[in-house]
Amino acid sequence: MTVQEAIRIRRSIRRYQSRELPAELLDQVLEAGRLAPSARNLQNWRFHVVRDAGLREKSAAACNGQTWIAGAPVILVISETDNRLMGCGQPMGTMNASIAVSYMTLAAAEAGLGTCWIGSFKADELHELLGLPEEETIVAVTPLGYPAETPEARPRQPREAIVIEH
């Protein structure tokens, strides 16, 4: 599968099969995040792997009650450790972690797995629940597992609406 194919098949999955996620597939997804580019090559991200069913349920509750998240066999909580502003004014840690999440979601799609980028969560609750160090800030959450649904592609704006040539 090409990167373009992975981009085209990736969907936000909100229902997961109950089967376990093989370690080699989880490693493949995590490796994609590890290899992602980062500003100044800081690699200032952390990938927290939540497998325990009780902890997944509590994590889903901290995601503003999105209980379906706990239906995946794994929840990834992605954090950053250095959010200084880059020269362009953007927060470095948030940008770096977001790139890593993007790589992981595409690797998951290639492996036949589903993800759903979650930005609606109570960061302080998740932080405490997972016992994260003070210097870590949670950027994103995604369930990870085998999809139990095949959603249609969501509409996208036409190229001419978003590409401006100078």
Which pLDDT score, from 0 to 100, does residue 22 have?
A: 97
In the chain, what are the domain boundaries? 3-149
Cα 33 from Cα 96, distance rounded (Å): 10
Class of CATH domain 3-149: alpha beta
pLDDT, tens only, 38-94: 999 999 999 999 999 999 999 999 999 999 999 999 999 999 999 999 999 999 999
One-letter-per-residue 3-state SS of 6-73: HHHHCCECCCECCCCCCHHHHHHHHHHHHCCCCHHHCCCEEEEEECCHHHHHHHHHHCCCCHHHHHCC
Cα 82 from Cα 135, distance rounded (Å): 8
pTM for the whole structure: 0.95
Give me the chain's average pLDDT, please. 96
pLDDT, tens only, 92-106: 999 999 999 999 999
Please give the backbone phi and psi of residue 112, each rounded to the nearest 5 degrees, phi first. 80, 20
